[in-house]
Amino acid sequence: MHRGLIPLIHVSLWLLFAQASADLHLCTESDYHFEYTECDVLSSRWRVAVPNKANTCTGLPDPVKGTQCTFSCSEGEFLDMQSQECQKCAAGTYSLGTGVAFDEWDSLPTGFVTHGEVTNGGDSWTDCSNSTWTPKGDYIASNTDECTALLSYAVSLKEPGTVSFEYFYEESSIHFEFFIQNDQCQSTDSENRWMKTSEKNWSKYKVELNKGNNVLYWRTTAYTLPADTVKPVLLRNVAISGVAYTSECFRCKPGTHSAKAGSARCAPCPAGTYSTKGATVCHQCEPDKYAEAGSGSCKPRPACTNSDYFYTHTPCDSEGKTQLMYKWIEPKICNETIEGAVTLPASGEKHTCPPCNPGFFVSNSSTCQPCTNGLYSNGTACAQCAVGTEPVVGFEYKWWNTMPSNMKSSIFSRELRGSEHRVAWEVAGEYIYTTPGDQDTDYLMLMLNVPGYRLPQSLAKDSESSELSRITFVFETMCTAECKLFFLAGYNQWNNVVVEQWKGSSSKQSYSYLIQSNSTVGFTWTFQRTEEFNIERKYSGDIAKIYAIHITNVVGGVASQCRRCAMSSDEACVPCPPGHYMVNRTGFCKRCSENTIIRPEQPFGEDACISCGPNTRRNKAYSACLSDCTLDVQSRGGAHLHYDFSPLANVTGFHSSPRFTNKGLKYLQSFNVALCGKEGRMPATCVDNATGTGKEVKGYVCQSTVVPSEIRSQSVVSSQPFLIGDSLVGVTTDTTLSSISSPDWLFPSTSMLPDVIFYYKSSETTQTCKQGRSAAIRLRCDPALTAKYHITLPRNCSEGTCDGCVFHLLWQSQHACPLCTRSHYREIVSACIQGIQKTTYVWQQPLQCYGGVSLPAQKVSACVSLDFWLKFGVTTGIIAAVLLISVSCYFWKKTRKLQYKYSKLMMSSGGQECELPTADSCAIMEGEDAEDDLMDLTKKSFFTKIKSFSRERSSDGFDSVPLKSSSSRLQQDDEDSDEA
């Protein structure tokens, strides 16, 4: 039974299928398309028909043998799958043949992937999700923050091919690299992966690809902080060849066209024309409309305004005349015939041309020609430098009737295209100024090329102490919007670095930049009116003016004056000997006073001599003041302190505390310090290894920004180096020196020992620091600190500076202490024990010295015991007591006798007041012996005095005191004569 059902089921299914097939129509060419199967081991494949929609038709063509896997079509051709032969693309379309192209970036094309990565290794708090490449219509732009933005595209090539693209990369503070990984995950050569910066227009890049799978990577990383000043990398017109074929041609996008069949690419429409998609020709705009190059439509011409024309000065004619002339901005897009439009002003009257620029002379054709070597000029005629002088060679531009031959200008429009059709800066007699651009966001660039630099003969012998070159320019900006003027230095032929920038209106001022390397080959001034894109030109009246540009010591330059110098025996021009200055440019040299250096910018007159600061000495070349790392100061207590900082003389580097950007990227401020030392010392050096320029600065103190990175297998990347101090001002304990202040509150201290402060100054000036940067490094004694390099920054100014100009550092070390002397220790003497006494030496506390003299060893000496001195003292005391008692008795007895005499005198007066006894009696009472105890002025012996003290009293109870009067003497004399 089951065997009979099986055939019946098959028959039923066949009938159902036949009925279903009968309901479907036969497939036509519009119902299916052809594809190739995968290549087999024999490199062969089959062409099969694939329905566009399932179950819509029946009767598909049978598979047929396809072309060989190595088959491909040429540019401008496509593969016709019906005939399996290459055919030319029709007009209005294009094809790369064996490739694909991406020239429209309204959105990210299929196959492209972009994402952001953390630069410093994956900090969890860093958000780089939005740091990607962004489509902008005609191009795609990179990120501008500190994250890494990666753009990738994977392609499988059937044969070796190429990839080409255009990019605009003007910001050297961004790393821009392109590399490829193949099937074996092998990257391209690391030397070729780093893109060169663009000079002014889009740069083209092309590299070969290997057969098989290839992944293309475009990666950017910004290192300049803050990131809002960074300009993105722009990418467009990516084309890849090496795919087997393309089965269709692509229609030209609006604004482009292909006039003939078999085109490999579409050409842009010129200005004043437009085209739609798939156009074969460009159509002319109507007279009242206009279109920029590559436009897909025309726009009405606006009424002409004062911003649609500019003024210039014509070159001097054969009569030496020039005039002010007005010109429409080309291409002209405004209409001067409609209501409210302005017309072009008439040209001014002719007037006499100004003189040529210094170093040039007026030729017979009324043009300015440079003076030859050895000649100089003030702008009229060339003259020979006098004997004993040399020409001061350079370029000085202060008259602008024509654009100098080594200068040119151009416009770059980021939103549109590079504008090569006209200049961006126009001459105007006394200055050069910016003309209106196509858009307010255009970059108006003025470029000056320099072949090289060479010191003059009088300075070449002392090249180390002389500046190589200096560029100075006078400028002014007048803006109603937030305009920007950038000054860039070109360190090689493809890399420009922003040196300084000014925002908004700036009054007329001068800026000077020191050139330190012959690799600086050019300078660029770039003016942008606003960063806000707007179709209408609202700020065309915002302009930048440059009045004068002066650059010194230029190879191939001209001379505006001659430098007088001392003369040798062969009348060759030589400089004054070291330590001498030239007297009033006479060629005679005079010695400067002791411990002075020569001012490099003015080696003439007495003002050329500059005294060295406190505790510094000049070098042999009289070009700088040095410290030999020793110092003698007087302390607050009057003690003499001697310092030796030689252990701290080596170049020292340290980092500030970590800081973080808004994105979470960690960065640090790195300082290098060369504190002191004799001639030939190693200077502190800060290098820029981020931009590839190799720029470095050298001096006493320098700073750079350090960002942790894994780029180029480096642990950190250093950028933005600058000098804080290239000359030593002085070394002192004072908190102010030469207008540089280091207040005590920055680094509070409880020690009575003063800090020693090294003051440094830099000759480089900036817009903020018009007097240049400076540094004050405090050395503080800490004998317990064994670490040699313990340097900190002020707590109130974590960057090391509070105003951006004066930097403050505190260096604590035991080597910052004064050398120890005898006054820094004291002696302790022990008691005399058994005839022995010990003397021990200890340091005064708190200890405020290091090194110097050492503590003396303990001394042991003989001594006398305390018992001997006690016996000697008792004996001496007894003798002194006896003598004291004897003398006291003597004076007591004498006082009693005087009291008696006084009483006798009072009694003899008879009780009458104011009367004294007669002279004959002398107050001697009857019964007294006038001769007893006669007191006179004769000297008596000690024993005689003792005897008189022991006399008995008289009967009346008083002591008998004999007094000799004049009458008694006479009576005595009479008695003596009678006896005779």
Q: What is the pLDDT of residues 690-738, one digit of tens each?
A: 776 778 889 999 999 888 765 555 567 888 889 999 999 999 999 999 8
User: Closest by alpha carbon to 360, among 402, 313, 409?
Assistant: 402
Could you tell me the sign of the dihedral formed by the alpha carbons of 185, 188, 189, 190, in that order?
Answer: negative
End-to-end CA distance of the chain: give it in Å, rounded: 216
How far CA 609 is from CA of 567, 740, 780, in Å, comes to: 20, 21, 33
Count of CB atoms situated within 10 Å of the CB of 743: 11
pLDDT tens digits, residue range 114-167?
988 887 654 556 778 888 999 988 899 998 887 889 999 988 787 788 899 999
pLDDT tens digits, residue range 71-102?
778 888 888 888 888 889 999 998 887 788 88
Q: What number is the average pLDDT over the span 510-527?
A: 89
Count of CB atoms situated within 10 Å of the CB of 42: 8
Count of CB atoms situated within 10 Å of the CB of 181: 16
Q: Are the beta carbons of 149 and 180 closer than 8 angstroms?
A: no
Residues comprising the chain, all counted: 980
Per-residue pLDDT at 957: 46
**How far is residue 877's CA from residue 72's CA, in Å, rounded to a whole number?**
135
Q: Band of the pLDDT at 4, cuts 50, 70, 90?
A: very low
Q: Band of the pLDDT at 787, cuts 50, 70, 90?
A: confident
DSSP structural state of residue 138? S
Between 212 and 647, residue with greater pLDDT: 647
Q: Band of the pLDDT at 927, cuts 50, 70, 90?
A: very low
**How far is residue 107's CA from residue 115's CA, in Å, rounded to a whole number?**
15
Per-residue pLDDT at 644: 94
**Cβ contacts of 11 within 8 Å, gap of 6 or more:** none
At 303 the three-state DSSP class reads strand
Partners of 807 in beta bridges: 775, 801
144: left (phi over 0), alpha (psi -120 to 50) or beta: alpha
Per-residue pLDDT at 926: 43
Whole-angstrom Cα Rg for the chain = 53
Lowest mean pLDDT among 10-19, 245-254, 524-533: 10-19
**How far is residue 659's CA from residue 666's CA, in Å, rounded to a whole number?**
6
Cis upstream peptide for 331 (omega within 30°): yes
Burial profile 379-395: b = 16 or more Cβ within 10 angstroms, e = fewer: beebeebeebbbbbbbb
Query: Token pair of 550, please?
Result: 């002066």
pLDDT tens digits, residue range 485-504?
999 988 765 567 888 999 99
Strands 806-813 vs 774-781: parallel, antiparallel or unpaired: parallel
At 645 the three-state DSSP class reads coil
Q: Band of the pLDDT at 8, cuts 50, 70, 90?
A: very low
Per-residue pLDDT at 362: 85
Asked whether residue 205 carries a pLDDT value surpassing 80, the answer given is yes
Per-residue pLDDT at 465: 57
Query: Token pair of 496, please?
Result: 């420009």
DSSP structural state of residue 569? T
Q: What is the DSSP string of 389-458?
A: EEEEEEEEE--BSS--TTEEEEEE-SSS-EE-SS-SEEE-BS-EEEPP-SSTT-EEEEEEE---B---HH
Specify the residue for token string 């009054």. Answer: 507
Q: Band of the pLDDT at 599, cuts 50, 70, 90?
A: confident
Specify the residue for token string 């300075």. Answer: 459
Per-residue pLDDT at 709: 67
Asked whether residue 208 carries a pLDDT value surpassing 90, the answer given is no
User: Closest by alpha carbon to 378, among 358, 356, 397, 353?
Assistant: 358
User: Closest by alpha carbon to 795, among 809, 781, 778?
Assistant: 809
Q: Band of the pLDDT at 330, cuts 50, 70, 90?
A: confident
Q: Are the beta carbons of 254 and 275 closer than 8 angstroms?
A: yes
**How far is residue 244's CA from residue 97's CA, in Å, rounded to a whole number?**
8
Could you tell me the sign of the dihedral formed by the alpha carbons of 664, 665, 666, 672, in that order?
Answer: negative
- Strands (DSSP E) along 726-878, which ranges? 727-732, 736-737, 740-741, 756-761, 774-781, 790-792, 806-813, 825-829, 836-843, 859-862
| One-letter identity of residue 433 | Y
Lowest mean pLDDT among 43-47, 468-472, 594-598: 43-47
CA 623 from chain centre, in angstroms, equals 24
Task: Give 876: exposed, middle or buried? Use CB within 10 Å, 0-12, 13-18, 19+.
Answer: exposed
**How far is residue 93's CA from residue 87's CA, in Å, rounded to a whole number?**
13
User: Closest by alpha carbon to 754, among 614, 643, 652, 644?
Assistant: 643
Per-residue pLDDT at 937: 42
**How far is residue 79's CA from residue 417's CA, in Å, rounded to a whole number?**
34
Q: Band of the pLDDT at 401, cuts 50, 70, 90?
A: confident
Q: Are the beta carbons of 640 and 786 closer than 8 angstroms?
A: no
Partners of 580 in beta bridges: 591
Q: Band of the pLDDT at 1, cuts 50, 70, 90?
A: very low
Looking at every residue in the chain, the average pLDDT score rounds to: 80
Q: What number is the average pLDDT over the span 954-977?
A: 46
Query: Token pair of 851, please?
Result: 């090194």
| One-letter identity of residue 207 | V
Per-residue pLDDT at 493: 53
| One-letter identity of residue 341 | A
Predicted TM-score (pTM) of the model is 0.54
Q: What number is the average pLDDT over the span 407-416?
A: 76
Q: Are the beta carbons of 114 and 108 closer than 8 angstroms?
A: yes
User: Closest by alpha carbon to 738, among 704, 712, 772?
Assistant: 772
Q: Are the beta carbons of 139 and 202 closer than 8 angstroms?
A: no
**How far is residue 247's CA from residue 72's CA, in Å, rounded to a whole number?**
11
Q: Band of the pLDDT at 956, cuts 50, 70, 90?
A: very low
